[in-house]
Amino acid sequence: MIKEKLKTADVSGLDQFASPGLIDESDYETVNWEKDRETILRKISMIRRCLPIDSVIDFGGMWEVDGLYSRLCREKFGIPRVTMVDKFESENWIRNPSLRAGVDFRKGDFSDEQFMATIREPYDLALAYDVLPHQIDLRHTLPLMLSKTKRFFLISHAILPEKLMPFRNCLVLLSGSKSRSLIPFHEKWTREINYWANFSDATIINTSHWLWGMTPSFIESLMVGFGWKLIHKEFWRGWLPNSSKWKICGLIFTKTGSVGAGVRFIPSFEPHIIRFTGYTRLLTGKF
């Protein structure tokens, strides 16, 4: 009964993001399609916009989807070279060899220069889905990711809409217990792990307990500074609750060639970095 429901759920206008018949959701049954089918299909659609390509690297593609986007690139789009990088392996990934078929999995931290040096060849397309908000220093990690990318760089995660902030290029550090109501998925984290005991201590330098809220203009300015141009953007609510002021973004960047691979170029703009605990009046209500 569940599989039948999944198969028939795509007819409500979502086929604009993935061609009808492209995906049989029962083939990817470890993925929780019911949580947010729209977001998954939009992310797939972003990949389709960049075809044809010969290689893909998927940064942090394990969490909650068991390498779904890497697998689709190999199985549905026929991309011959597909690599996924993640520090973690899900139980489904470990137990089921079929999930790993055709995907070159590299277990490691893409913010680690020594690990990234082991990835020799660049890729046509890079996926950065739901990973940038957890990086301690984007100006360090992002160039490492971009140095492995030749043509397209795709970003998707929850963002702070521009209209909520008093200026552009805004980056908000959401750390400490007072920011709890502003985290868009705090109910889930509270349920699944003892999160807030650690999150209330902002001195913990661990990407699992670190979240940046950023505006689209910040992301674009940062990418432009590294030599990349925004060619597509879209925003939607997805799995976020109706009371949330956050949106989910989908951004596609293409390389302009003005900055060479591996160059540690810091953009000329000054980001507005805000520590939440001193910014209560602006960020009122649940995001």
Confidence grade of residue 183 (pLDDT, cut at 50, 70, 90): low
**Mean pLDDT (the chain, rounded):** 78
In angstroms, rounded to a whole number, what is the distance separating the alpha carbons of residues 188 and 190? 5
Q: What's the total number of domains in the chain?
A: 1
116-168 pLDDT, tens digit per residue, is 999 999 999 999 999 998 888 888 999 999 999 999 999 999 998 998 887 88
Within a domain: 122 = yes
Write the CATH number for 82.
3.40.50.150
Within a domain: 285 = no
| Angle in degrees, 0-180, between the axes of helices 138-146 and 216-225, rounded to the nearest 10 | 60
Contacts of residue 167, defined as CB under 8 A and 6 or more positions apart, other chains included, come to: 272
Within a domain: 245 = yes
Within a domain: 178 = yes
In angstroms, rounded to a whole number, what is the distance separating the alpha carbons of residues 209 and 239? 21
Within a domain: 264 = yes
Confidence grade of residue 11 (pLDDT, cut at 50, 70, 90): very low
Within a domain: 221 = yes
- pLDDT at residue 49 is higher than 90: yes
Query: What is the pTM assigned to this prediction?
Result: 0.80
DSSP state of 130: S
DSSP state of 27: G
Confidence grade of residue 175 (pLDDT, cut at 50, 70, 90): low
For residue 168, count other CB atoms closer than 10 A to its CB.
Answer: 15
Least confidently predicted of 35-39, 122-126, 258-262: 258-262
Within a domain: 184 = yes
Q: Cα 34 vs. chain centroid, distance in angstroms?
A: 19
As to burial, measured by CB atoms within 10 angstroms (0-12 exposed, 13-18 middle, 19+ buried), residue 108 is: middle
State both tokens at 170: 């805004």
Domain of 18 in residue numbering reads as: 2-278
Within a domain: 97 = yes
